[in-house]
Amino acid sequence: MRNNTVMSRFMALLFVLPALAALPVCAATDRGAIATIPMIAEPLGVESLMGPGVDPHLYKLTRADITKLVEAPHLLYCGLGLEGKMLDAFARLAASGKPVTAVCEAAPKAKRLQAAGPVGAADPHLWMDPVLWAEALQVTAHRLGLPVPEDFGQLDAYARARLESIPAPARVLVTAHDAFAYFGRRYGLEVVGIQGINTESEAGLRTIEAVVEIVVTRRLPAVFVESTVSDRNISAIIEGAAARGHRVVVGGRLFSDAMGPEGTYEGTYIGMIDHNVTTIARALGGRAPARGMQGRLAAHDH
Ligand SMILES: [Zn+2]
């Protein structure tokens, strides 16, 4: 009896094998695909190479990462220069025949922003605009046969309403590096990044003085720190403003190039943007519920 069951299972397997062989080999649907940054990985339901709090501009692949990438059936990365230290490895993987997809480059060229620095450099921080991000993710999902993520319409409407409640003169976002240009364009905020688009460049004294000037003349109540970037420059801004008689505080810690801890609401793409929108709106004098769009944000000390 038992042998019969084993035999029938074996026969069933033989029957199924040719069908499996007919499936496309490189489809990412088996969830074995791996994405560099969690902002790509989480909405598409694939594994993330980088964890919370990691700066993708500076991250260098470890030996274990390389093994993971070699074994994964598909690699998804942002591109547009974000993963500066990894591009050589990605090029080698692509040359070896590995399917490699640059998700940020799936967004239409006309909707991309240029970086403020060297001419021709693109700004890779597309995920800061939920509508543009949905577009890039959806194009990628369709192409690779992954589950198609939602359009983030509710998130976009919440962000617009909350950020428009900030009094007009204070609609200025001063933060550590230039990650928020797409965010500012979408929601009508002036964005002042102290460091360039890339966290490798150092902010000079002249830049600090220029930012202090903006903070003081616009009477800004708050500036922001980021989860992946050093607070040093922001402290210099606060001290510089104080020396000129204007008190400005740290309005909160924003997620720019990484999301919150895994397993938390802030560790999802929607939670990350909800956190940023809610923190910015409240610190700059706008109206937003303390626990955010869905009442799910962690309580904050700011
Ligand atoms: Zn960045």
The pLDDT tens digits for 119-156 are 678 999 999 999 999 999 999 999 999 999 999 999 99
Indicate the range of 203-207, 210-214, 273-277 predicted with least confidence: 203-207
- Which pTM value belongs to this model? 0.87
> Which of the 8 DSSP states describes residue 51?
-
Q: Do domains 34-144 and 153-283 have the same CATH topology?
A: yes
Q: How far is the CA of 47 from the centre of ligand 1 (A)?
A: 21
Centroid of ligand 1 to alpha carbon of 282 (angstroms): 23
For residue 125, how far is its CA from the centre of ligand 1 (angstroms)? 6
Across 76-95, b (16+ Cβ under 10 Å) vs e yields bbbbbbbbbebeebbeebee
Distance in Å, CA 29 to ligand 1 centroid: 29
Q: How far is the CA of 209 from the centre of ligand 1 (A)?
A: 22
Q: What is the whole-number distance in angstroms between the Cα of residue 16 and the centre of ligand 1?
A: 47
Inter-residue contact 107 to 72 (CB < 8 Å):
no
CA of 76 to the centre of ligand 1 (A): 18
- CA angle (229, 231, 235) in 5-degree steps: 155
Rounded CA gap, 286 and 95, in Å? 50
| Centroid of ligand 1 to alpha carbon of 55 (angstroms) | 7
What is the distance between the alpha carbons of residues 156 and 129, in angstroms, rounded to a whole number? 8
The CATH label, of 3.50.50.60, 3.40.50.1980, 3.40.50.300, 3.90.1150.10, for the domain at 34-144 is: 3.40.50.1980
Ligand 1 centre distance from Cα of residue 101 (Å):
19
Query: How far apart (Å, rounded) are the C-alpha atoms in residues 280 and 226?
Result: 12
Per-residue pLDDT reduced to its tens digit, 239-296: 999 999 999 999 999 999 999 999 999 999 999 999 999 999 999 999 999 999 999 9
Q: Cα of 268 to ligand 1 centre, how many Å?
A: 18
Query: What DSSP state is assigned to residue 117?
Result: S
- The kind and range of the H/E element at 281 are helix 269-283
The gap between the terminal CA atoms of the chain, to the nearest Å, is 68
257 CA → ligand 1 middle, Å: 5
Q: Which residue has the higher pLDDT, 113 or 205?
A: 113
CATH H-level, domain 153-283: superfamily:
Nitrogenase molybdenum iron protein domain (3.40.50.1980)
| C-alpha torsion 54→58→61→64, nearest 10 | -30
Give the rounded percent of residues in the chain with a pLDDT score beyond 90.
Answer: 75
Chain segment 81-107, per-residue pLDDT in tens:
999 999 999 999 999 999 999 999 999
Q: How many whole angstroms separate alpha carbon 162 and alpha carbon 170?
A: 13
Higher pLDDT, 176 or 42: 42
Distance 123 CA to ligand 1 centre (A): 9
Cα 191 to ligand 1 centroid, rounded to whole Å: 14
- The answer to whether 215 and 223 are in contact (CB under 8 A) is yes
Q: Say if residues 46 and 31 touch (Cβ distance below 8 Å).
A: yes
* 3-class DSSP state of 209: helix
Q: Please tell me the distance between residue 220's alpha carbon and the centre of ligand 1 in angstroms.
A: 23
Q: Residue 241's pLDDT is what? A: 98
Ligand 1 midpoint to CA 178 (Å):
7
Supply the Cα-derived Rg of the chain in whole angstroms. Answer: 22
Please indicate whether residue 23 or residue 266 has the higher confidence score (pLDDT).
266
Instruction: Give dist(CA 67, CA 287) in Å, integer.
Output: 47
CA of 83 to the centre of ligand 1 (A): 9
Mean model confidence pLDDT for the chain: 88
Domain boundaries, the chain: 34-144, 153-283
